[in-house]
Amino acid sequence: MFTDARGKTVVFVAHCILNQNSISDGTAVYPGFIQEIMEVLCTTHVGIVQMPCPEFLCLGLDRGNIDGSTSPVVEENTRIRETMGRRFAARKIEQLAQDLVFQISEYRKYGFHILGIVGINRSPSCGVDTTSKNNREIGGEGVFIEILRKELQKNRMDIDIVGIKPSEPGKAVKAIRTLMDAN
Ligand code: SF4
């Protein structure tokens, strides 16, 4: 089964790595995808799985605040984090995380290799090393990554999760290369 041309290796990436149009107002760094990361991934035979954008799906493109771009990013991110913590959003995030874990389990069932998951640091939802809280960028995970990690643990799945920042492409490329070398 699955002995066709597919390489049987996939990486899961935050939605906005492939589509900066989804990011909160005022924070896009590229017109489309994050070029430097895609240049690295395109030299490999890895399948790129675009994870859903949890904030877009819970709060819409404007994140529920049409004037979001007029506030300092970490302040707006703090507001977004608080809203993403509400019941309706928490339920949706949990479903998104479960759907991703299902995809991962299907790939694993058939011997595919999961290179890892790439999140976005400072994000109130997809932060891995840092997130936004109390109007600051602080160490810790975003609400989506927290739940995704719990779902992975619940299913006894040990998958590397790394965080990058679109505004720091050099470091981002290094993190992606490290992930590929380690896996
Ligand atoms: S960091 Fe996460 S929530 Fe924010 S735009 Fe990217 S995918 Fe969406």
Write the pLDDT tens digit of every residue in 83-134.
999 999 999 999 999 999 999 999 999 999 999 999 999 999 999 999 999 9
**pLDDT confidence tier of residue 182, bands split at 50, 70 and 90:** confident
In short, whether 22's Cβ falls inside 6 Å of ligand 1 is yes
pLDDT grade for 9, boundaries at 50, 70 and 90:
very high
34-73 pLDDT, tens digit per residue, is 999 999 999 999 999 999 999 999 999 999 999 999 999 9
Ligand 1 site, residue 77, Cβ cutoff 6 A: no
- Ligand 1 atom nearest the C-alpha of 51 is 7
| Contact present, 70 and 27 (Cβ < 8 Å) | no
Asked if residue 83 has its Cβ within 6 Å of ligand 1, the reply is no
Helical (H) or strand (E) element with 47: strand 47-50
